[in-house]
């Protein structure tokens, strides 16, 4: 009989009005079923095993502006590791002062995304790395041009030999991208307050963030923004319930539909990760929402088709704030010295 009373009480707690905060332990269990904590160490990648030599080389390449035609733009220019792995531009500035069509996503925790780019057109970081290097309005270089630069720098020759001891031709576009991807795989931000909560620390996030987490799961945000990266693992139409203003969804960018050559569903994009989202404004593929408040409001309307009172949206923002993890500590690399054979910048 006391057992049935306990069951009834638990049910009562569970079915209480949504304004009420579920007991933290129930919330924690529910969250643990939906999300995963960022690990402290990078995952294994059998097809591109991480070795210290390869990661160290990849870091140098990531920071080396000589990989661009102008020799002024590095991977880090748009994926700035001092700024949460982004550039705080609506869409990035690149070669020739041209602006690209989409917002640069953070490189942090990007290994846990299903694919790269807003339209998922690169299967992984290795495939991704080629695109900005060769895009004429980004780094504007090319496979042979980059190889020529690196081959002209003897110290890079040694570093590639150490990183790729089994390669007959260590400096090649494949290995360049493998090394960059290897470094990027290490760019994790573990131990966000929310991760500590997921790992059992009830007090790691405050009551407002907890209420936001409950709303985030109950209202449907977590249907897309789930798992390790709270997103990054699927594709959805932007405007599945209500088409957002074209400020947020420019009509000429149909997203993944252009890749899949489908026309029945336009404006499909990869669900972005919400990890470190408080650091990575502006938001959306268009980089058009400059605050979390605005982004949450647009999402609630366009993706959930509901309205939420400001207090609930603020609670969700408080939860999103709890997703900021420990940023990678980077020793700024000294880059190998050019020689007189090194090709010169092209503007």
Query: Which residues make up the interface to a copy of itself (CB under 8 A)?
Result: 63-66, 70-72, 77, 80-84, 87-90, 93, 96-97, 99, 278-279, 281, 290-291, 293, 327, 329-335, 337-338, 340, 344-345, 347
| Sequence-separated (6 or more) residues with CB below 8 Å from residue 331 | none
CB of 104 closer than 8 Å to CB of 89? yes
User: Between residues 93 and 258, which has the closer beta carbon with respect to a copy of itself?
Assistant: 93
Minimum CB–partner distance for residue 188 and a copy of itself (Å): 15
Minimum CB–partner distance for residue 180 and a copy of itself (Å): 16
User: Between residues 25 and 291, which has the closer beta carbon with respect to a copy of itself?
Assistant: 291
- Which helix (H) or strand (E) segment holds residue 236: the answer is strand 235-237
User: Between residues 87 and 184, which has the closer beta carbon with respect to a copy of itself?
Assistant: 87
Minimum CB–partner distance for residue 234 and a copy of itself (Å): 28
Q: Does residue 81 sit in helix, strand or coil?
A: coil
Minimum CB–partner distance for residue 293 and a copy of itself (Å): 7
Can you tell me the distance from the alpha carbon of 30 to that of 304, in angstroms, rounded to the nearest whole number?
20
User: Between residues 61 and 172, which has the closer beta carbon with respect to a copy of itself?
Assistant: 61
- Which helix (H) or strand (E) segment holds residue 235: the answer is strand 235-237
| Sequence-separated (6 or more) residues with CB below 8 Å from residue 294 | 283
Region of residue 92 (left: phi > 0; alpha: psi -120 to 50; beta: else): beta
Helix axes 154-163, 173-185, angle to 10 degrees: 70
CB of 285 closer than 8 Å to CB of 118? yes
User: Between residues 226 and 277, which has the closer beta carbon with respect to a copy of itself?
Assistant: 277
Can you tell me the distance from the alpha carbon of 205 to that of 263, in angstroms, rounded to the nearest whole number?
43
Count of all residues that appear for the chain in the document = 347
Active site residues: 138
The Cα-based distances of 291 to 27, 112, 192, 284 in angstroms read 27, 24, 20, 11
User: Between residues 31 and 323, which has the closer beta carbon with respect to a copy of itself?
Assistant: 323
Minimum CB–partner distance for residue 84 and a copy of itself (Å): 8
Minimum CB–partner distance for residue 290 and a copy of itself (Å): 6
């Amino acid at each position: 009989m006391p057992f049935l009373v306990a069951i009834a009480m638990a049910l009562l707690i569970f079915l209480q009005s949504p304004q009420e905060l579920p007991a933290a332990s129930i919330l924690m269990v529910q969250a643990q079923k939906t999300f995963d904590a960022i690990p402290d160490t990078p995952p294994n990648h059998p097809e591109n095993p991480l070795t210290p030599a390869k990661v160290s080389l990849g870091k140098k390449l990531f920071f080396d502006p000589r990989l661009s035609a102008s020799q002024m733009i590095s991977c880090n220019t748009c994926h700035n590791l001092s700024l949460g792995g982004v550039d705080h531009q609506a869409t990035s500035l690149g070669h020739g002062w041209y602006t690209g069509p989409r917002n640069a996503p953070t490189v942090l925790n990007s290994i846990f995304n299903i694919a790269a780019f807003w339209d998922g057109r690169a299967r992984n970081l290795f495939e991704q790395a080629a695109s900005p290097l060769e895009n004429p309005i980004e780094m504007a270089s090319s496979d042979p041009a980059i190889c020529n630069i690196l081959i002209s720098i003897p110290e890079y020759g040694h570093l590639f030999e150490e990183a790729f001891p089994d390669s007959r031709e260590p400096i090649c576009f494949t290995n360049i991208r493998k090394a960059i991807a290897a470094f990027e795989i290490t760019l994790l931000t573990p131990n966000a307050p929310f991760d500590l909560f997921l790992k059992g620390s009830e007090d790691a996030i405050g009551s407002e963030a907890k209420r936001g987490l409950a709303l985030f799961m109950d209202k449907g945000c977590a249907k897309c923004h789930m798992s390790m990266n709270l997103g990054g693992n699927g594709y959805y139409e932007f405007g599945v319930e209500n088409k957002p203003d074209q400020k947020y969804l420019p009509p000429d960018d149909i997203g993944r539909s252009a890749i899949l050559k489908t026309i029945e569903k336009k404006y499909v994009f990869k669900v972005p990760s919400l990890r470190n989202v408080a650091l990575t404004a502006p938001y959306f593929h268009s980089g058009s929402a400059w605050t979390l408040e605005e982004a949450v409001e647009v999402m609630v309307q366009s993706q959930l088709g509901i309205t939420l009172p400001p207090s609930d949206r603020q609670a969700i923002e408080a939860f999103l704030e709890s997703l900021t993890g420990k940023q990678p500590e980077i020793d700024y690399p000294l880059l190998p010295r050019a020689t007189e054979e090194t090709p010169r910048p092209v503007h």
